Copies of this chain bind each other. A is one copy, B any other.
């Protein structure tokens, strides 16, 4: 590619306004009042939960079918206009805003569950279905979809960002739970990546190429997911530890012993303080694990007993546990309320927070979390830690005043040091949030130039005009 390559230009500037206007005109003719250009709707689609600025698209289309998406992409491709897909808009790293303008294709109305194959333990659905809607729909079947990133994200967005969350330690991430995708390619063609067979060696794994591609290679319009039987018994537990190291060592021993734990979440002492503020729990300000065990009745009893032994061996206790649904909810309530609890840590009301994540080999988890907490203290920023620690993955959300440049600088410095710490320990700059705009610069630190060039070669081959979500995942 040369300096004057239009694809590079599109990474760094908007297309000519005239091209955008013509494309929007053609889209209006095709979509009628499902094309919206009001500033309120555009700004809503240029906003997300990260600290990236609001960058509204030029227009928003509310798609209702794969053909809608295909037609919209064809029109945009004809004029070199960027296309940004959007589902529930719960992005945490700036995936859905439109830095170079273009058209946001909102798939939230594509929210039908098309087929449930109970015998095959799979479901075919549209990308706008949210994970909670899916599980509500499945309730009577005895099946469930376990991936739980916290937010009620759309399944399409969860595919696009390779999401995971609390249950990943047992059930894997989105990459492990998608059987097939229908994708609208950058020229509008419709591609099905695979069939419903549980495994296949028939060619390149296009499914997993699109999972985690963040809308930069195509737009996901139909998804086949694996499902699981709702476990016969579920037990929940909490336990506190004298140190982050003691808690992490318990996690490592649990994973190593092959104990099939379903959830194992760490919160740091600062988060426990937040729980006390928020819900008057009166807990000691010490690290805490939230646990969930799935299996048969005897199986969960055995898992719970074994885990208790491991925890006590590391000085953990007391150990609260229950198998009753309503008590389980109560035990985990603090963890579910963590976002609200963290708000109580704000030194002044104008402060805001965001969430970012890294993932390290589990042997480095205690070091990484401990050093991160020490770093926040040293920098003088409030940054509570919550982790899906069975995977070596944790989150932190510094609180800062967005109007105080010093505060913003501190938060940026803290995140930069966090990511570098994770990378230095053999980890990744994002375990589950994705790259978006916010982590592009760390891609150059995580991957070699040769590795990034392979990614860029694939991007160029599939999207030569670079119209699919430009300015995300890869830079020029």
Contacts and interface: CB of A to CB of B under 8 A. Distances in A.
A361 interface: yes
B252 A202 contact: no
A393 B198 CA distance: 8
Interface stretch (A10-18, A52-60, A72-80, A453-461): A453-461
Given A302-B296, A448-B191, A359 B199 contact: yes
Nearest to A229: B258
Interface stretch (A209-217, A374-382, A409-417): A209-217
Given A204-B455, A229-B258, A474-B203, A197 B120 contact: no
Given A199-B173, A298-B298, A361-B120, A204 B213 contact: yes
B431 A199 contact: yes
Contact of A298 (B173, B302, B448, B457): B302
B448 A192 contact: yes
Interface stretch (A20-28, A130-138, A345-353, A421-429): A421-429
B428 A200 contact: yes
Contacts of A453: 189
Q: How many copies does the complex hold?
A: 2
Nearest to A432: B201
Interface stretch (A98-106, A161-169, A263-271): A161-169
A325 interface: no
A416 B147 CA distance: 39
Interface stretch (A35-43, A81-89, A433-441): A433-441
Contacts of A164: 199
Contacts of A255: 121
Interface string A436-476: 00010011001110111111011111100000000001100
Interface in A109-141: 117-122
A106 B176 CA distance: 32
A282 to B, nearest CB: 35
Interface string A158-200: 0001111000100011011000000001000111111111111
Contacts of A67: none
Nearest to A194: B428
A457 B459 CA distance: 10
Interface string A345-387: 0000000000000011111000000000000000000000000
Interface string A243-267: 0000000001001111010000000
Q: Which of A202, A260, A393, A432 has the most CB of B within 10 A?
A: A202
Contact of A201 (B119, B172, B433, B459): B433
Nearest to A193: B451
Nearest to A298: B302
A196 B176 CA distance: 17
B461 A457 contact: yes
Nearest to A198: B391
Contacts of A211: 205
Contact of A192 (B122, B427, B451): B451
Contacts of A176: 172, 176
A319 interface: no
A429 B121 contact: no
A122 to B, nearest CB: 7
A208 interface: yes
A69 to B, nearest CB: 15
10 contacts: A120-B362, A121-B256, A190-B450, A194-B428, A197-B359, A197-B393, A198-B359, A201-B433, A202-B446, A205-B209
Given A162-B205, A191-B454, A198-B392, 9 more contacts: A168-B199, A191-B448, A196-B361, A202-B439, A202-B446, A204-B455, A204-B459, A204-B473, A208-B209
Which 7 pairs from chain A and chain B are nearest by CB?
A461-B461, A200-B428, A119-B363, A208-B208, A229-B258, A197-B359, A120-B361
